[in-house]
Chain A
């Protein structure tokens, strides 16, 4: 059966089967997850030569390694002999991997080093086998991206305007670099991955889903997404979208208010930033961090970085860690603490998001009305000075951008 995506994805509504049909999920793996650029991790996770860490691209088990010459590789965790896992540990440091089944060894760039009792193969160096390698690996602001397609748009082209948001994150560090060195929480949701992606820049839900924590902490986050907010939702093209909260932070005009703190609490950080950036420091410290969903799986929510991993049509794992700013230890403690309180299985924000994903998945089992509505704000969208479609803080502009790009990838005949 051929899925007719142009019928299931319409400008103001999308069909429920896109979230529940295992056939759609299988096609997504091929046309999105094993083709476009997918974020895998960050170079700071494999800082030293020999470092490795197990990762996932779609449902693929991948080892991210750093070789002696500093190159980052993504190797498929599958012995070329009998398909056994060559790496069992979550992370470590080694220049090679040894398959425990028959002792085949591989360099951490994937090439076969040896196989025991080699006369059975006619001697040493007779086999031109190796670990599978993700064909294209590239980095941007230290984020490592993978593409299983040997050819296609470059990472720069894929990121498009979203690249600027990653720049905005990195410039918050006094050394211009972020690090993702705090380890990852892994949060499992019985829900389709697209529900997570759509929710990340949905400014309509926070006041409802997160009202419980806003009310007890006096958080200002709810008001950023209210009907009175001057913040906007922007379709950045390429399926990327953001909640641009800068208009609200500029209105407040207070350095560090974006982080819910004041400069008095992080004097060393603020001093370093002013020293580095001079007059421009005020703008950086006022505007804060981005809130951007990079298609299909990297979500930066100001202080937290999420990577969305599809597991099955109705199951997703969300990986999350705290942003750490190189050269800012006083900020990093606070970033970690605030992040731990907010995200993951027990997080005061994300546990409730995840509850919504799961209820959403169950709700869609109902036969009617079949469709999910994504029209909010269609009538009041505008095009900004850079040509991007913009809605209010709580409009569904980001979702429409996501679906438009999704459709273009899923409909391509040459993918079949």
Chain B
């Protein structure tokens, strides 16, 4: 690849391929496949109340390090995580993908999403802007950071225990 970012940064096509795959694994509840995307220093963050809160001092909807991602996935896999058992039916669209920055082997990308969730409670529309930190490793690309800013993060939210 002869992009400006040389051999470390990712090009837009690679990024999109990764984001679509990550989205599909989440939509289809492929918990092992989704968990395998993460690096060891992973951070999975859904802020509450607005995009710029300090997660070390303020409440977040999700603020998972790698170990807590693993706990979350293990809980889902028990089949007795009732808020996802039966699992939600859902599909999400990813668009407006942009490269924000290239930092060493990491590429920071942003994208919008629109997600339709259906479960017995009813159909819920989720939307927001996601920031990803993607890292090129020997056998592909890994996810080091995912921050999901919901458009309605300041409002009361329905249960959100699927992978967003």
User: Residues on A close to B: CB < 8 A?
Assistant: 90, 181-190, 209, 211-213, 215-217, 317, 320-322, 333, 336-337, 339-341, 344-346, 348, 351-352, 354-356, 358-359, 362
**Partner-contacting stretch, out of B14-22, B55-63, B89-97, B98-106:** B55-63
Report whether A217 and B71 are in contact in the complex, using a CB–CB cutoff of 8 Å: yes
Report whether B120 and A351 are in contact in the complex, using a CB–CB cutoff of 8 Å: no
CB distance from B79 to the nearest CB of A (A): 8
- What residues on A are CB-neighbors of B74 within 8 Å? 216
- What residues on A are CB-neighbors of B59 within 8 Å? 182-185, 320-322, 336, 339-340, 344
Interface flags, B124-161, vs A, CB<8A=1, else 0: 00000000000000000000000000000011111111
- What residues on B are CB-neighbors of A355 within 8 Å? 82-83, 159
- What residues on A are CB-neighbors of B118 within 8 Å? none
- What residues on A are CB-neighbors of B80 within 8 Å? 211-212, 215
Q: Which residue of B lies closest to A91 (CB)?
A: B49
Please give me the 10 A-B residue pairs with the lowest Cβ-Cβ distance, nearest first: A186-B156, A355-B83, A216-B74, A212-B80, A351-B161, A351-B83, A188-B156, A345-B160, A212-B78, A317-B156
Bound: A184/B156 CA distance, A: 10
Report whether A345 and B75 are in contact in the complex, using a CB–CB cutoff of 8 Å: no
Where chain B touches its partner, the secondary structure class is loop
Q: Which residue of A lies closest to B47 (CB)?
A: A183
Report whether A348 and B156 are in contact in the complex, using a CB–CB cutoff of 8 Å: no
- What residues on B are CB-neighbors of A211 within 8 Å? 78, 80
| Interchain CB contact (< 8 A) of B78 among A188, A215, A341 | A215
Report whether A346 and B75 are in contact in the complex, using a CB–CB cutoff of 8 Å: no
Report whether A356 and B82 are in contact in the complex, using a CB–CB cutoff of 8 Å: yes
Report whether B157 and A188 are in contact in the complex, using a CB–CB cutoff of 8 Å: yes
- What residues on A are CB-neighbors of B120 within 8 Å? 359, 362
Bound: A323/B84 CA distance, A: 28
Bound: A344/B58 CA distance, A: 13
| Interchain CB contact (< 8 A) of A345 among B63, B79, B122, B161 | B161
Say if the beta carbon of B12 comes within 8 Å of chain A: no
Bound: A340/B49 CA distance, A: 14
- What residues on A are CB-neighbors of B53 within 8 Å? 183
Report whether B46 and A182 are in contact in the complex, using a CB–CB cutoff of 8 Å: no
- What residues on A are CB-neighbors of B60 within 8 Å? 340
- What residues on B are CB-neighbors of A337 within 8 Å? 63
